[in-house]
Amino acid sequence: MRRSRVVAVLAAGGLAVAGCSAPGPAEVTFYADGHTIRVGPIGNCDITTGVCAADPGAAGTLKVRPGRSVQVSVPKEVAETPWKITVQYVNGKGQPQPLKEDIITSRDRYAYTATPPTKDDQIVVVEIAQATVISRTGDPNDAEPITTALWSLQVRPA
């Protein structure tokens, strides 16, 4: 009986401590060809402190067949800010094609579908860049976007 009370107290204490920890960096979800992966940022910066962190190993990898789309879901922390999606393709001969970039500023868009231009084209990289708009002078006319976090999916042909 005494042992079960000690275990219960320790478990409750562990939950209380876990509840006090700061949340980790936001994760972006990529889905393609029946597979899903959640990835953390490969780089992120706190603009209030100027502290940046890099984690190149956080990039995700999925196998995707040519002509198949990649669906992206971003969390609230990203959707409520300006964000950009960059998609890199190669054609059926393996030749790089122009990058496709879309800037999302609606502050309520949580998903994006990257679709290759043709059935022979292969998506090779999908990246999400979260931005914050700041002005160094305080004048809104000279405000510029600053990338604060970057997520990356590397696609392997299936």
The answer to whether 124 touches 83, Cβ cutoff 8 Å, is: no
- Residue 74: beta bridge partners? none
The answer to whether 94 touches 124, Cβ cutoff 8 Å, is: no
Phi and psi of 35, rounded to 5°? -125, 145
- Residue 145: beta bridge partners? 133
Residue of 128, 138, 84 lying closest to 106 (CA atoms): 84
The answer to whether 51 touches 42, Cβ cutoff 8 Å, is: no
Helix (H, G, I), strand (E, B) or coil at 97: coil
What residue segments make up the domains of the chain, in order of their start? 24-157
Question: Among positive and negative, which fits the CA dihedral 32, 36, 42, 44?
Answer: positive
Confidence at residue 125, expressed as pLDDT on a 0 to 100 scale: 99
Task: Average pLDDT across each block of 10 residues of the chain; the chain has 158 residues. List them in order.
Answer: 39 40 79 98 93 96 98 97 97 97 96 97 98 87 91 97
Confidence at residue 150, expressed as pLDDT on a 0 to 100 scale: 98
Confidence at residue 12, expressed as pLDDT on a 0 to 100 scale: 39
